Amino acid sequence: MQFTKAQAEAIQTHNQNLIVIAGAGSGKTRVLVERYLALLTANPDWPLNALVAITFTKKAAEEMRDRVRHSLEDRYNHARSEADAQRWSQLLGEIDSARIDTIHGLCASLLRANAAEIGVDPAFDVLDEIESAILLEDVVDDVLAWVVSEDDPAVELL
């Protein structure tokens, strides 16, 4: 399968960060994996975690990590020299620590890595959509109950 002009440009542009926006099934993940590998190929001294790839869902991040893993395995299996094989093998060994994640996941890892400096508990949890909706409802209920119990003039507004 050939890349479109825009896809090829995204893969080959290495002098700036990029955001890839396209519809479902358009090949975004394929383009990002190819770009990821092209950057690693062009910069043989970079460790895997020198790159950051962000997606919106955990499923997409897992899919991208799996595709990168398979591509690294393929490059290792088809290496033309011992040095290339060693390079791809090392990168493959780093795949579980690769910065391929959701926006929330990246932010959480940065916060945990700097927890002492910013004063947060490194064992914090990121709420999922359901948990955050429940928490919001509980907080609204608590605030409304407090407003009523304090005989606050705001009760008339409610």
| Tens-place pLDDT, residues 76-90 | 999 999 999 999 999
**Confidence check: pLDDT of 157 > 80:** no
Question: What mean pLDDT is predicted for residues 115-139?
Answer: 92
The reported pLDDT for the residue numbered 64 is 93
The fraction of the chain above a pLDDT of 90, given in percent, is 60
Average pLDDT, the chain: 90
- Which tens digit of pLDDT belongs to each residue from 59-118? 989 999 999 999 999 999 999 999 999 999 999 999 999 999 998 899 999 999 999 999
**Confidence check: pLDDT of 1 > 70:** no
Confidence at 145, pLDDT banded by 50, 70, 90: confident
b/e burial code for range 87-97 (CB count within 10 A of at least 16 → b): bbeebbeeeee
Task: Tell me the chain's radius of gyration from C-alpha atoms.
Answer: 23
